[in-house]
Amino acid sequence: MYASHDRLILLDADGTIIDAFSAIETAFSLHGMQIGDLERFQKRRNLFKYLGGLKEFPRNLAKSLGNSNRKELIATLTDIYREQAMLYPSIAPLLRQLLATPGIKVGLVTRNVTHEPAITLARLFARHDLDIQQLDFFSCIALKTPKNVYFSTALSQLGINPARAFACGDEHKDYLAMQAAGVNPFMVSYGFEDLQRLTLKYAVPEVIISRTPVELGARIRHAFDLPDSHLN
């Protein structure tokens, strides 16, 4: 029925393996804006996530009006991602271990908003001595595009049984996409949505949510029968 007996893990980038909040915060600051702290950022609805809370909203709205301002902000964010942004601690050794293990395919499906995100992420990965070309599947998608289509495409292209496939994400939309594609979910609460929002508002099971990148690594290693790494 399936061409391969390999297992697959599909990773999300921003907020799951990449410390996106720090990069966004830096970019906003360079443009005279603020997004508040991570805790408040995680609780905002998508419409207001980048306009800040009550404290930051008026100033940010004034600064962000106009296409030229938005273009400049994205250009700055692109530069920060390419030159400064980092994977969360412990993620790089996890990726190296996954990529080096026979029988495990590794993919990346991302809504990264920088210019030419494939180039952006390649440079970010390279700072961690990781080659994005080693990935078995890579796709950059539009912000409002559901990920399940790309999860299913990866399964089809690689010939993998959904029961042997996993995906990682940090937003409830990621969880819904995993369900729609029939893959096993890993969720995290240190990215764009916090534990309370994921569990209480969107009914994401708490048992599949990792609170830290280290915990995510431990869960993935256990699921894939990989030895623990002292680099955690």
Q: What tens-digit pLDDT sequence spans the chain (232 residues)?
A: 899 999 999 999 999 999 999 998 898 888 877 776 777 677 655 533 444 443 443 344 445 544 457 788 889 999 999 999 999 999 999 999 999 999 999 999 999 989 999 999 999 999 999 999 999 999 999 878 899 999 999 999 999 999 999 999 999 999 999 999 999 999 999 999 999 999 999 999 999 999 999 999 999 999 999 998 654 4
* pLDDT at position 50: 47
pLDDT in tens, 43-70: 655 533 444 443 443 344 445 544 457 7
Taken in order of first residue, the domains within the chain and their CATH numbers are 7-19+87-223 (3.40.50.1000), 20-83 (no CATH)
Residue 64: predicted pLDDT: 53
Angle in degrees, 0-180, between the axes of helices 67-83 and 20-30, rounded to the nearest 10: 130
Residue 17 structure tokens: 């393996």
pLDDT at 27: 87
Instruction: Say which DSSP state 127 is in.
Output: T
CA–CA distance, 88 with 82 (Å, rounded to integer): 15
Q: If DSSP codes are grouped into helix, strand and coil, which group holds residue 75?
A: helix
Residue 183 contacts by C-beta under 8 Å, 6 or more apart in sequence? 8, 10, 151, 155, 162, 165, 166, 167
- pLDDT > 70: what percent of the chain? 85
Crossing angle of helices 91-100/213-223, nearest 10°?
20
